[in-house]
A and B are shown apart, each in its own frame.
Chain A
Amino acid sequence: MKNNYEEEIKTLVSEIIEVPVEKLEPDADFFKDLGVDSLKAIEIVAAFEKKYRMIIPEKDIPNIRNLRQITEYTKHLEKV
Protein backbone atom coordinates (compact mmCIF):
# COMPACT_ATOMS: atom_id res chain seq x y z
CA MET A 1 0.00 0.00 0.00
CA LYS A 2 2.75 2.38 0.95
CA ASN A 3 4.45 2.04 -2.40
CA ASN A 4 1.19 2.40 -4.24
CA TYR A 5 0.46 5.64 -2.45
CA GLU A 6 3.88 7.02 -3.25
CA GLU A 7 3.55 6.00 -6.88
CA GLU A 8 0.12 7.57 -7.06
CA ILE A 9 1.45 10.85 -5.73
CA LYS A 10 4.37 10.74 -8.13
CA THR A 11 2.05 10.16 -11.09
CA LEU A 12 -0.27 12.96 -10.03
CA VAL A 13 2.57 15.47 -9.64
CA SER A 14 4.22 14.29 -12.84
CA GLU A 15 1.08 14.93 -14.87
CA ILE A 16 0.63 18.44 -13.52
CA ILE A 17 4.20 19.64 -13.80
CA GLU A 18 4.80 17.73 -17.04
CA VAL A 19 7.99 16.04 -15.85
CA PRO A 20 8.25 12.29 -16.59
CA VAL A 21 7.81 10.04 -13.54
CA GLU A 22 11.29 8.57 -13.97
CA LYS A 23 12.83 12.02 -13.69
CA LEU A 24 10.99 12.93 -10.49
CA GLU A 25 13.51 12.48 -7.71
CA PRO A 26 12.03 12.41 -4.18
CA ASP A 27 14.26 15.28 -3.05
CA ALA A 28 14.15 17.46 -6.16
CA ASP A 29 12.90 20.90 -5.11
CA PHE A 30 9.66 21.73 -6.90
CA PHE A 31 10.52 25.38 -7.28
CA LYS A 32 14.30 25.36 -7.82
CA ASP A 33 14.79 22.07 -9.67
CA LEU A 34 11.50 21.35 -11.36
CA GLY A 35 10.36 24.80 -12.45
CA VAL A 36 7.13 24.80 -10.45
CA ASP A 37 5.55 28.26 -10.19
CA SER A 38 2.64 29.49 -8.08
CA LEU A 39 0.14 28.31 -10.72
CA LYS A 40 1.51 24.77 -10.85
CA ALA A 41 1.82 24.69 -7.05
CA ILE A 42 -1.85 25.49 -6.55
CA GLU A 43 -2.81 22.95 -9.21
CA ILE A 44 -0.92 20.28 -7.25
CA VAL A 45 -2.61 21.33 -4.02
CA ALA A 46 -6.07 21.40 -5.64
CA ALA A 47 -5.53 17.98 -7.24
CA PHE A 48 -4.46 16.52 -3.88
CA GLU A 49 -7.38 17.96 -2.04
CA LYS A 50 -9.79 16.61 -4.63
CA LYS A 51 -8.28 13.14 -4.93
CA TYR A 52 -7.71 12.48 -1.25
CA ARG A 53 -10.53 14.64 0.14
CA MET A 54 -8.29 16.61 2.42
CA ILE A 55 -7.64 20.27 3.05
CA ILE A 56 -4.08 21.54 2.86
CA PRO A 57 -3.97 24.82 4.80
CA GLU A 58 -2.47 27.71 2.88
CA LYS A 59 0.22 28.31 5.49
CA ASP A 60 1.62 24.81 4.93
CA ILE A 61 1.95 25.09 1.15
CA PRO A 62 5.33 26.90 1.06
CA ASN A 63 6.85 24.18 3.27
CA ILE A 64 6.02 21.35 0.89
CA ARG A 65 8.88 21.57 -1.55
CA ASN A 66 9.54 18.08 -2.83
CA LEU A 67 7.91 14.70 -3.35
CA ARG A 68 9.24 13.26 -0.12
CA GLN A 69 7.74 16.15 1.86
CA ILE A 70 4.39 15.94 0.12
CA THR A 71 4.19 12.19 0.80
CA GLU A 72 5.08 12.65 4.47
CA TYR A 73 2.79 15.63 4.86
CA THR A 74 -0.26 13.96 3.36
CA LYS A 75 0.34 10.78 5.40
CA HIS A 76 0.23 12.96 8.48
CA LEU A 77 -3.03 14.54 7.34
CA GLU A 78 -4.56 11.13 6.76
CA LYS A 79 -3.97 10.25 10.38
CA VAL A 80 -5.79 13.34 11.62
Chain B
Amino acid sequence: MHWDREKIKTILPHREPFLFIDEVIEIDGTKKLIASKNIKDNEFFFEGHFPGRPIMPGVLIIEAMAQASIILYYICKPEIGKTHPNYYLGKAKAEFLSPVVPGDKLILETNNVKITDEAGVVDALARVGDKIVAKANLVFSIKRNG
Protein backbone atom coordinates (compact mmCIF):
# COMPACT_ATOMS: atom_id res chain seq x y z
CA MET B 1 0.00 0.00 0.00
CA HIS B 2 1.49 3.29 -1.06
CA TRP B 3 -0.18 6.55 -1.93
CA ASP B 4 1.80 9.48 -3.27
CA ARG B 5 1.13 13.19 -2.88
CA GLU B 6 -0.94 13.38 -6.03
CA LYS B 7 -3.37 10.78 -4.78
CA ILE B 8 -3.38 12.36 -1.32
CA LYS B 9 -4.29 15.71 -2.89
CA THR B 10 -7.43 14.18 -4.37
CA ILE B 11 -8.63 13.60 -0.79
CA LEU B 12 -7.10 16.39 1.30
CA PRO B 13 -8.02 19.98 0.48
CA HIS B 14 -4.68 21.16 1.90
CA ARG B 15 -1.91 22.40 -0.34
CA GLU B 16 1.72 23.41 0.10
CA PRO B 17 3.04 24.73 2.36
CA PHE B 18 0.23 23.41 4.55
CA LEU B 19 0.06 19.86 3.26
CA PHE B 20 1.69 17.71 5.93
CA ILE B 21 1.44 14.27 4.38
CA ASP B 22 3.94 13.04 1.77
CA GLU B 23 2.90 9.40 1.59
CA VAL B 24 0.39 6.93 2.91
CA ILE B 25 2.41 3.87 3.85
CA GLU B 26 -0.10 1.47 5.34
CA ILE B 27 -3.86 1.07 5.58
CA ASP B 28 -5.33 -1.52 7.91
CA GLY B 29 -8.93 -1.68 6.74
CA THR B 30 -10.94 1.04 8.43
CA LYS B 31 -9.01 0.64 11.68
CA LYS B 32 -5.66 2.29 11.16
CA LEU B 33 -3.68 4.38 8.72
CA ILE B 34 0.02 5.18 8.67
CA ALA B 35 1.39 8.13 6.73
CA SER B 36 4.67 10.01 6.62
CA LYS B 37 6.11 13.46 6.17
CA ASN B 38 9.76 14.25 5.58
CA ILE B 39 10.69 17.29 7.60
CA LYS B 40 12.90 19.34 5.33
CA ASP B 41 15.41 22.08 6.18
CA ASN B 42 13.40 24.68 4.31
CA GLU B 43 9.97 24.13 5.91
CA PHE B 44 8.32 27.57 6.15
CA PHE B 45 7.79 27.37 9.91
CA PHE B 46 11.48 26.90 10.71
CA GLU B 47 12.24 30.45 9.71
CA GLY B 48 10.72 31.74 12.90
CA HIS B 49 10.46 28.61 15.08
CA PHE B 50 13.22 29.19 15.99
CA PRO B 51 15.95 31.21 14.25
CA GLY B 52 19.10 29.09 14.41
CA ARG B 53 17.35 26.31 16.33
CA PRO B 54 14.65 24.79 14.12
CA ILE B 55 11.96 22.77 15.92
CA MET B 56 8.65 21.72 14.37
CA PRO B 57 5.81 23.39 16.31
CA GLY B 58 3.69 20.89 18.25
CA VAL B 59 0.49 22.33 16.81
CA LEU B 60 1.73 21.39 13.35
CA ILE B 61 2.37 17.82 14.48
CA ILE B 62 -1.28 17.79 15.53
CA GLU B 63 -2.18 19.23 12.13
CA ALA B 64 -0.26 16.42 10.42
CA MET B 65 -2.06 13.84 12.57
CA ALA B 66 -5.38 15.48 11.70
CA GLN B 67 -4.60 15.35 7.98
CA ALA B 68 -3.76 11.64 8.24
CA SER B 69 -7.06 11.23 10.09
CA ILE B 70 -8.98 12.85 7.24
CA ILE B 71 -7.56 10.20 4.91
CA LEU B 72 -8.65 7.52 7.38
CA TYR B 73 -12.11 9.12 7.44
CA TYR B 74 -12.19 9.01 3.64
CA ILE B 75 -11.42 5.29 3.74
CA CYS B 76 -14.20 4.70 6.27
CA LYS B 77 -16.73 6.93 4.51
CA PRO B 78 -15.75 7.12 0.84
CA GLU B 79 -19.21 8.15 -0.31
CA ILE B 80 -19.04 11.27 1.90
CA GLY B 81 -15.32 11.86 1.34
CA LYS B 82 -15.87 12.01 -2.41
CA THR B 83 -18.19 15.00 -1.97
CA HIS B 84 -15.24 16.99 -0.54
CA PRO B 85 -16.88 17.99 2.73
CA ASN B 86 -15.38 20.48 5.17
CA TYR B 87 -13.40 18.93 8.01
CA TYR B 88 -13.20 20.73 11.36
CA LEU B 89 -10.89 19.82 14.17
CA GLY B 90 -12.98 20.18 17.33
CA LYS B 91 -10.79 18.96 20.13
CA ALA B 92 -7.23 17.79 20.61
CA LYS B 93 -5.76 16.29 23.73
CA ALA B 94 -2.06 15.95 23.09
CA GLU B 95 1.28 15.14 24.64
CA PHE B 96 4.59 16.13 23.08
CA LEU B 97 7.43 13.89 24.08
CA SER B 98 10.40 14.80 21.93
CA PRO B 99 11.34 17.62 19.51
CA VAL B 100 11.02 17.13 15.75
CA VAL B 101 13.82 18.71 13.73
CA PRO B 102 14.92 19.04 10.08
CA GLY B 103 15.88 15.70 8.56
CA ASP B 104 13.38 13.72 10.64
CA LYS B 105 10.91 11.47 8.91
CA LEU B 106 7.68 11.93 10.80
CA ILE B 107 5.55 8.79 10.87
CA LEU B 108 1.90 9.49 11.59
CA GLU B 109 -0.33 6.69 12.79
CA THR B 110 -4.02 7.28 13.30
CA ASN B 111 -6.38 4.74 14.84
CA ASN B 112 -10.14 4.72 14.42
CA VAL B 113 -11.86 5.01 17.80
CA LYS B 114 -15.26 5.93 16.33
CA ILE B 115 -16.16 7.36 12.96
CA THR B 116 -19.65 8.31 11.86
CA ASP B 117 -21.08 10.32 8.96
CA GLU B 118 -20.87 13.50 10.99
CA ALA B 119 -17.83 13.17 13.21
CA GLY B 120 -14.79 11.17 14.17
CA VAL B 121 -12.63 10.29 17.17
CA VAL B 122 -9.12 8.97 16.63
CA ASP B 123 -6.07 8.14 18.71
CA ALA B 124 -2.97 9.27 16.89
CA LEU B 125 0.75 8.76 17.35
CA ALA B 126 3.69 10.52 15.76
CA ARG B 127 7.03 8.72 15.61
CA VAL B 128 10.52 9.41 14.38
CA GLY B 129 12.13 6.02 13.88
CA ASP B 130 10.98 3.95 16.84
CA LYS B 131 10.63 6.91 19.13
CA ILE B 132 7.17 8.27 19.89
CA VAL B 133 7.40 12.05 19.66
CA ALA B 134 3.72 12.92 20.21
CA LYS B 135 0.39 11.34 21.07
CA ALA B 136 -3.05 12.83 20.62
CA ASN B 137 -6.73 12.10 20.87
CA LEU B 138 -8.54 14.11 18.21
CA VAL B 139 -12.24 14.80 17.77
CA PHE B 140 -13.35 16.26 14.45
CA SER B 141 -16.55 16.98 12.61
CA ILE B 142 -17.58 16.82 9.00
CA LYS B 143 -19.92 19.26 7.33
CA ARG B 144 -21.15 18.32 3.92
CA ASN B 145 -21.32 20.96 1.26
CA GLY B 146 -24.68 21.93 -0.13
Which B residues between 77 and 124 are near A, CB-CB below 8 angstroms?
90-91, 113-114, 116-121
The dominant DSSP class at the A interface is: helix
CB distance from B84 to the nearest CB of A (A): 19
Complex contact B113–A41 (CB within 8 A): no
B141 touches which of A39, A46, A58 (Cβ 8 Å): A39
CB distance from A12 to the nearest CB of B (A): 15
Q: Can you give 20 A-B contacts (C-beta < 8 A)?
A: A38-B118, A38-B141, A39-B90, A39-B91, A39-B119, A39-B139, A39-B140, A41-B119, A42-B119, A42-B139, A43-B91, A43-B121, A43-B139, A45-B114, A46-B113, A46-B121, A49-B113, A50-B113, A58-B116, A58-B117
Bin chain A's interface residue count: 10 to 19
Tell yes or no: A61 within 8 A of B by CB. yes
Chain B positions within 8 Å of A, measured between CB atoms, are 90-91, 113-114, 116-121, 139-141
Complex contact B116–A61 (CB within 8 A): yes
Interface membership of chain A positions 52-65, coded 1 if the CB is closer than 8 angstroms to chain B and 0 otherwise: 00000010010000
